[in-house]
Structure 1
Amino acid sequence: MTLARRTLTSGSFSITVIASTSYTDTQLAVTDTGEITVTGPLGLTDETVKTFVAYKEAWIGARLQHLVNVAAGTQSADGPCPSCYVTAGSLHTDLCDLARCAFTGLQRSGCGHFTDRCRTPWTGRLPGEAECHEYGFYARLGSSGWEPCPADHPDAMPDFNRLYTECRWDAQAQRMRLISD
């Protein structure tokens, strides 16, 4: 799958292609009215469709959250977890795919501990989002894929890849810390 961002004009509307696969000619796009679409030929494999749907949901969620934060002038929404729907301050459910292990900071569903001691609460923000804001880690989808950008760029989103590259989990503080700290 290649990631690209280009605007196409068709009749009276334009779409921005966010992702595409060259071997299936499949596209994930957003119209100028904000509608998100996945298009492609019949007979797509289930795996390809699942990948695009998962990417679509993650992109929409992250983008909308960023726009809400920018509009409100705040970095916190304090809404329920978008995966398990617990309220801020409550522990994630056992099967929540956003929950992080309290010991490793990695996704809890694959940590292997499966005890209540490794459960973490939903803070109202995506895991690592606060640290991305604190450290100034932002990225946007450019013509060659994800690239760093300033927080005030209109397409800026928290750069979780950079966070996990340049930081390590501090189990005592329950947060990501810069490796240099």
Structure 2
Amino acid sequence: RRFKERCRYLEYRHLKWAASVIAISWIMRIKMARMRQQLKRTRLDQLDAFKRRAKIFASSWERITNSRRVIIHIPSLGYNQTIRETFSDFGVRQNTQMARLCDIKDPNVDVIYIAAVPLSDETLQYYSKLLGLCTAVANSNPENQCDMTDRYKIIVPEAIKSFPTHRMCLSTILKYSPRE
């Protein structure tokens, strides 16, 4: 008699365990479905907000382009560490967008350029002369050069000196630079 009771009890425990496994899997399925719906709803809300901002931006584009503004260029290549390790002269590659300084051809624009490598005085003089020639080229008059140094600023983060061998993207180096 005791043997039969034990067998029934073990069978009951096994069925109870199986029922709990089924119940837990069902609860997890319901929770996952809710989470998927919530993520989908959040994504749609974010997309709607982006579309609203883009519409506002597009409608005010003429005002933006006609008003005075400062453009900040951070030419950061945010690749994974393993990819960055394969590049030779990673800082120089990040700095290939120096031509963005030419945005000052628009008289309403001032440019702040964050350089990924320390620049020599020779390079700075070269860009100063080059940018000064913009008005001369536009007017086809070689004597019409002007000084544009007050319309652009080139900043080299201090942390570049602290991490010379690390191949960090420029935005990370900028994050580790002390504030001035």
TM-score by length of 2: 0.28
The structure having more radius of gyration, on CA atoms, is 2
Query: Which of structures 1 and 2 has the larger relative contact order (alpha carbons within 8 angstroms, sep 6+)?
Result: 2
Q: Which is helix-richer, 1 or 2?
A: 2
TM-score by length of 1: 0.28
Q: Which is strand-richer, 1 or 2?
A: 1
